[in-house]
Amino acid sequence: MNLSNPVVVWVGALLLTLLFFYGMDHFIMLIQGLPLNFDLTPAQ
Protein backbone atom coordinates (compact mmCIF):
# COMPACT_ATOMS: atom_id res chain seq x y z
CA MET A 1 0.00 0.00 0.00
CA ASN A 2 1.43 3.33 -1.07
CA LEU A 3 0.82 5.84 1.73
CA SER A 4 2.09 8.71 -0.37
CA ASN A 5 -0.87 8.22 -2.72
CA PRO A 6 -3.49 10.82 -1.69
CA VAL A 7 -6.38 8.55 -2.74
CA VAL A 8 -5.15 5.78 -0.44
CA VAL A 9 -4.70 8.25 2.42
CA TRP A 10 -8.15 9.81 2.06
CA VAL A 11 -10.03 6.55 1.50
CA GLY A 12 -8.12 4.93 4.34
CA ALA A 13 -8.89 7.81 6.72
CA LEU A 14 -12.56 7.76 5.77
CA LEU A 15 -12.89 4.00 6.19
CA LEU A 16 -11.10 4.10 9.52
CA THR A 17 -13.38 6.85 10.78
CA LEU A 18 -16.52 5.11 9.50
CA LEU A 19 -15.51 1.92 11.24
CA PHE A 20 -14.82 3.76 14.48
CA PHE A 21 -18.14 5.62 14.51
CA TYR A 22 -20.05 2.47 13.52
CA GLY A 23 -18.58 0.62 16.47
CA MET A 24 -19.15 3.62 18.71
CA ASP A 25 -22.85 3.79 17.76
CA HIS A 26 -23.33 0.11 18.56
CA PHE A 27 -21.49 0.45 21.85
CA ILE A 28 -23.40 3.55 22.97
CA MET A 29 -26.77 1.98 22.24
CA LEU A 30 -25.74 -1.34 23.74
CA ILE A 31 -24.79 0.15 27.10
CA GLN A 32 -28.23 1.75 27.19
CA GLY A 33 -29.83 -1.65 26.57
CA LEU A 34 -30.79 -0.71 23.02
CA PRO A 35 -28.96 -3.16 20.73
CA LEU A 36 -28.90 -2.50 16.99
CA ASN A 37 -28.97 -4.78 13.96
CA PHE A 38 -26.16 -4.78 11.41
CA ASP A 39 -27.93 -2.06 9.42
CA LEU A 40 -28.33 0.06 12.61
CA THR A 41 -32.08 -0.60 12.87
CA PRO A 42 -33.37 -1.34 16.38
CA ALA A 43 -33.06 -5.04 17.23
CA GLN A 44 -36.45 -6.67 17.82
Residues that bind another protein in the complex, under the rule CB under 8 A? 3, 6, 9-10, 12-14, 16-18, 20-21, 24-25, 28-29, 32, 34, 40, 42
What is the closest distance, in whole angstroms, from the C-beta atom of residue 13 to another protein in the complex? Answer: 4
Q: How far is the CB of 36 from another protein (least distance, A)?
A: 9
Complex with another protein: residue 21 or 38, whichever CB lies closer: 21
Number of Cβ within a 10 Å radius of residue 12: 13
Asked if 22 and 14 touch (Cβ cutoff 8 Å), the reply is no
- What is the rounded distance in angstroms from the CA atom of residue 43 to the CA atom of residue 32? 13
